[in-house]
A and B are shown apart, each in its own frame.
Chain A
Amino acid sequence: KAGVTQTPRYLIKTRGQQVTLSCSPISGHRSVSWYQQTPGQGLQFLFEYFSETQRNKGNFPGRFSGRQFSNSRSEMNVSTLELGDSALYLCASSLEGRRLTDTQYFGPGTRLTVL
């Protein structure tokens, strides 16, 4: 079974631009979560989608948004990029996002650099 895939793996943008990152979960997984990883703040939860609906949200500004499609693929969008948005963005999928029974599987991440 293929793992979680994220595209692109690397991305360079300039301040003020917007960016869209894509995540394809493991086949059959319906929950997709997004995380931001930076040296200063560590790993922070962005949001979780389940059945095309945002189910949980972390403490990030509205510039960060996401969506999930009917095939469970998810996209994350960041508008009006700031230098501080430079980070590794990780996507994780699980069957239904239940901590008790499900395991989250992480993708390799998309490394975003904002110049």
Chain B
Amino acid sequence: AQSVTQLDSQVPVFEEAPVELRCNYSSSVSVYLFWYVQYPNQGLQLLLKYLSGSTLVKGINGFEAEFNKSQTSFHLRKPSVHISDTAEYFCAVSSYNNNDMRFGAGTRLTVKP
């Protein structure tokens, strides 16, 4: 079975600074990888996903992530964050052969003025 580890539970950062949210996964089979964002009192919204092909994936709101198979990582980055990016971010993995999606524990990104 696959699993996901988000290495930081909280990431505080100042507005307009770059940010990286780290995600490592483990799986014995090929996987799909996802990043979701959850704003307070809302459901999850898909930021981006890696299915195959180019290892650099661009998503909404200026976010991008890079799939690194050798390091089993899928870190999320944004070159310049805004106050409105304050939210909880979840990395998730789903294997090719089933629809069971496993989520990481989440990283709370707080953007300070």
Contacts and interface: CB of A to CB of B under 8 A. Distances in A.
Contacts of A44: 103
Contacts of B113: none
A90 interface: yes
Interface string A43-68: 11100100000011010000000000
B54 interface: no
Contact of A104 (B42, B46, B96, B106): B46
A56 B43 contact: no
Interface string B86-104: 0000101010101111111
Task: Count chain B CB atoms within 10 A of each CB in A42, A44, A103 and give the residue with the most.
Answer: A42
B68 interface: no
A109 interface: yes
Interface string A82-106: 0000000010100001011001111
From DSSP, what is the main secondary structure of chain A's interface residues? strand
A100 B32 contact: yes
Interface residues of B, number: 23
Contact of A55 (B49, B99, B105, B106): B99
A35 B49 CA distance: 19
A41 B6 CA distance: 13
Contacts of B103: 35, 42-44
Contacts of B57: none
Interface in B28-71: 32, 36, 41-46, 49, 51
24 contacts: A33-B99, A33-B101, A35-B103, A42-B106, A43-B90, A43-B92, A43-B106, A45-B100, A45-B101, A45-B102, A56-B99, A92-B43, A97-B99, A99-B32, A99-B51, A99-B99, A99-B101, A100-B32, A103-B49, A104-B101, A106-B36, A106-B43, A106-B44, A106-B45
Interface of B: 32, 36, 41-46, 49, 51, 90, 92, 94, 96, 98-106
